[in-house]
Amino acid sequence: MAFEGLADKLGAAFKRLKSKGKLNEADVKEAMREVRLALLEADVNYKVAKDFTNKVSERAVGAAVMESLTPAQMVIKIVNEELTGLMGGSDSKIVSPSSPPTIILLCGLQGAGKTTHAGKLALMLKNKGHRPLLVACDIYRPAAIKQLQVVGEKAGVPVFEMGKEDPIKICKAAIAHAKDYGNDMVLIDTAGRLQIDEVLMDELKNIKTVIAPHEILLVVDSMTGQEAVNVAKTFDELLSITGVILTKLDGDTRGGAALSVRAVTGKPIKFAGTGEKLEDLEVFHPDRMASRILGMGDVLTLIEDAQSKLDQHSAEQTAQKLMQNKLDFNDMLDQLNQVKKMGPLKNVISKIPGMDKQLKDVDIDDRQMDRVAAIILSMTPEERSKPALINPSRKRRMAAGSGMKVEDVNRLLKQLEQTQKMMKQLKGKGGKRRFSGMGMPF
């Protein structure tokens, strides 16, 4: 889970502050020492960590904080505000010209996920009503063009390529093509190298000079920590990048890159890759990320994920069947599929305030959903809609068909029965009115 290690250490530091009724300067100094150590262990740039704790200390020892009824909460509020400022303060959007197309140049080292994230960004833009065009300008890496074509096909976005032609010619032809065919976003996937070298930079600088992109987005692997920051700094010095896409943020338990990039380069993080699927790309919200780091959750992103990834009509139908006590295994399977669209359960839970701490020591295994789905898929259509038909011999057949045990099948039947019983009790206690108040269609 993103920032897990840092969040735990900050949580421990603030827990000690909360145990004190009143704070003095020594308490704040000790807490900030722990915060600085936590940031350094998270691979945050040393100067960034030092400046950050100095700013927090300066604000935290003010009279308004020391004399407040809950000084520890005031300190946490200041840390939250400074973390938000450290990562950029506010969202940074794609810059668009008055007349399309918007030209976005994606650059980065080989292996950072540049081609995949070109596809992710194209899909995000397409879902927002744009007509993106992907451009294959990596003419050196074997199968790079084919990879972009596969990604483009999955995203439902056209790919412009001219084989091994000169990248500058490809870019100019692609922009002309976009104007002719009404593509308002041109995403150029450039060549990368295993390390920064003169040949790579010369090519990128030449492309920049000729096509004058509106955005130069650097794709960096957040799990490389401080090295990602160094890469961003070098690319910025040579190309004047306009923003950063952080990849693999879901697996970055430290968070050093996310916390240092803006401070070191002065350029914002615009997007973050949060998984392997094409849909797993988020707009980077500094305020929400700060809340996540401090264990306050991220309800807004969770709501946005639900709105974009869940089928509202299906959810309403299931809610109606719940209240009518007609829930069956078809509904359960549908809900499992809906939940899986939201991504790993641990990531979903981390966005709910307080839940990540309550379930910290619980082993959350996403494969359990696959096991439940396997049992349901081993049922006949009639058994799914009429669970009462399931007898011992059918249970044995389902267990064999799903690779599970009869006890697992019994457990699933019991879960459905308990859900139906609970909904019956809610309905009898005015549950209909309560659900209606939540905006559900009853």
User: Looking at the chain, how many residues does it have?
Assistant: 442
What does each of the 442 residues of the chain score in pLDDT, given as a tens digit?
Answer: 556 777 778 888 777 777 776 777 888 888 888 888 888 888 888 888 899 999 988 888 776 665 665 777 778 888 888 888 888 887 788 888 888 899 999 999 988 899 999 999 999 999 999 999 999 999 988 889 999 999 999 999 999 999 999 999 999 999 999 999 999 999 999 998 777 788 888 999 999 999 999 999 999 988 887 888 888 898 999 899 999 999 988 766 667 788 888 888 889 999 999 888 898 898 888 888 887 777 655 455 555 565 555 556 666 666 666 556 667 888 888 878 877 776 666 666 666 555 555 555 555 667 888 888 899 999 999 999 888 899 999 999 999 999 999 999 999 998 888 877 777 766 655 544 444 433 332 2
What angle in degrees, to the nearest 10, is found between the helix axes of 46-60 and 25-41?
A: 160
Sketch out the chain's domains with CATH numbers: 4-86 (1.20.120.140), 102-303 (3.40.50.300), 310-437 (1.10.260.30)
Q: Element (H or E) spanning 137, and its range?
A: strand 132-137
How many other C-beta atoms lie within 10 A of the C-beta of residue 380?
13
According to DSSP H, which parts of 351-405 are helical?
355-358, 367-377, 381-385, 392-402
Assess contact for 322 and 314: CB atoms under 8 A.
no
65 closest CA partner among 23, 12, 13 = 23
Residue 332, both tokens: 């359960």
Say which residues have a Cβ less than 8 Å from residue 25's Cβ, sequence separation at least 6: 61
Assess contact for 60 and 75: CB atoms under 8 A.
yes
